[in-house]
Chain A
Amino acid sequence: MNIKQKLTLAVITASVLLFSGCTSQPQYLGAPSAQKASLTMGIDRKDFEKAAKLAVESLLRGGALTRQDGTKNKIMMGRMINDTTQRIDTDMLIKKIRIAILNSRQAYIINSMSYGGKSTDSMIFETRKLKNNKEFRQSTIAKTGQLDVANMSLSGKILQRTARTADDKQLVEYWFQLTLTDLIGGYSVWESEEIVEKIGSNDTVTW
């Protein structure tokens, strides 16, 4: 192989590497050019932050948590469904919303009961088991009938749809759907749906 052939081979290799690098980079659809690049075709921290921010903005702006009587709503966590191909802890979305709700001072989050009848903090019931245990000062243990029942429930779903585009790329859409239900009346007081779209090489996998 002479020098000219070696040089041609090097240029071809460099070009292949360059262009394959360009095509495999996942991108957000519709984002400004400076913010187009996405780290992954799957759901990442940035996606959860965006979905949570938009949901909280919508929730506070809509006034669904506002009460005229000066009291605060009590919200329990309902069912969160992960209908994607990825193993996701839905708390990555819900925790951000819980923090924002508590910071807004418009509602309490109920920890004594959540979806499936479980408490989100088992110590609520563990401490109650100490009733009549002489080792503990009984006045510091919760009395009967102290727990509040929620008047609202926050439930949701994360959905995924994958499609192949006309130019043989992979389009992945994620829907972040949330619903706030009035448990007394049984109706929805707020709903939100945020969509994140990513496009990338067909060779990329989302999980």
Chain B
Amino acid sequence: MKLIKSLLALGLIMFFTGCTQNQPSINSKITDPHIIMENGSMDGWLEFQTVNYLTREDGLMEVEARFRNYSSFDKTVAYKINWMDKNNFIEKSILSKWVVVEIQSQRGLTIHGISPSNRIKDFQILIQETSTNDDLRKNSYHKEYTNN
């Protein structure tokens, strides 16, 4: 009986160490304040790579952020860009709507955005995991998901 228990424990240890060895180590620590991953569980598989932004001659701000799905599964995420004016107020715009995308396993996601006006001085990219039944996001009357 003792031998069976020991073997079982050894098997479990080998099983779980095997699993963890297959997970690539990713640099999920986000140092850029413009990127906000709203679900902590995303740290384990979604890597933030770069964010580039500039203010054009016509005063509009352009932004591009890149991410990579390091998991073995295709994942669905929702993102939104909040555009903020000089007083840090979020400007309501049709350009700040939730977008749901599927990122294939081991593939990248590029988010590209342009500010709705030249009043914009800053931005935030919000990323959330979706559920299979994402009713609240489909319901634009829900306060959090109302954009315009």
How many A-B contacts if CB must be within 8 Å?
65
Query: Could you tell me if A60 and B60 are in contact, using CB atoms closer than 8 angstroms?
Result: yes
**A residues touching B (Cβ–Cβ < 8 Å)?**
31-35, 37, 49, 52-53, 56-57, 60-61, 63, 65-66, 96, 99-100, 103-106
CA distance A143 to B55 in the complex (A): 40
Query: Could you tell me if B94 and A96 are in contact, using CB atoms closer than 8 angstroms?
Result: yes
Query: Could you tell me if B102 and A105 are in contact, using CB atoms closer than 8 angstroms?
Result: no
Query: Could you tell me if A53 and B76 are in contact, using CB atoms closer than 8 angstroms?
Result: no
Closest 7 CB pairs of A and B: A66-B58, A32-B102, A35-B100, A34-B134, A34-B130, A61-B114, A60-B114
Known: A53-B97, A57-B95. A34 touches B76 (CB 8 A): yes
CA distance A66 to B93 in the complex (A): 19
Asked if B62 CB lies within 8 Å of chain A CBs, one says: yes
Known: A60-B114, A103-B117, A106-B58. A34 touches B131 (CB 8 A): yes
Residues of A with C-beta under 8 A to B91: 103
Among residues of B, the one whose C-beta sits closest to the C-beta of A104 is: B117
CB-contact partner of A49 in B56, B94, B115, B133, under 8 A = B94
The smallest C-beta distance from A36 to any residue of chain B, in angstroms, reads 10
A-B residue pairs in contact (CB < 8 Å), sample of 30 = A31-B100, A33-B76, A34-B100, A34-B134, A35-B100, A35-B134, A37-B138, A49-B94, A52-B94, A53-B94, A56-B94, A57-B113, A60-B114, A60-B115, A61-B62, A63-B56, A66-B57, A66-B58, A96-B148, A100-B95, A100-B116, A103-B91, A103-B93, A103-B117, A104-B116, A104-B117, A104-B118, A105-B118, A105-B119, A106-B58
Residues of B with C-beta under 8 A to A104: 60, 116-118
Residues of A with C-beta under 8 A to B101: 32
Query: Could you tell me if A34 and B117 are in contact, using CB atoms closer than 8 angstroms?
Result: no
CA distance A35 to B99 in the complex (A): 10
CA distance A116 to B131 in the complex (A): 49
Mark out the residues of chain B between 88 and 141 whose CB falls within 8 Å of any chain A CB in the assembled complex. Answer: 91, 93-95, 97, 100-102, 113-119, 130-134, 138
Known: A34-B131, A34-B132. A105 touches B62 (CB 8 A): no
Contacts A53-B94, A100-B116 aside, 5 further interface pairs with beta carbons under 8 A come to: A33-B76, A34-B133, A52-B94, A53-B95, A103-B116
Known: A32-B100, A33-B132, A34-B130. A63 touches B116 (CB 8 A): no
CA distance A105 to B115 in the complex (A): 12
Residues of B with C-beta under 8 A to A63: 56, 58
Residues of B with C-beta under 8 A to A99: 94
CB-contact partner of B102 in A33, A49, A53, A103, under 8 A = A33
Residues of A with C-beta under 8 A to B114: 57, 60-61
Residues of B with C-beta under 8 A to A53: 94-95, 97
Known: A34-B131, A66-B57, A66-B58. A100 touches B102 (CB 8 A): no
Residues of A with C-beta under 8 A to B148: 49, 96
Residues of B with C-beta under 8 A to A52: 94
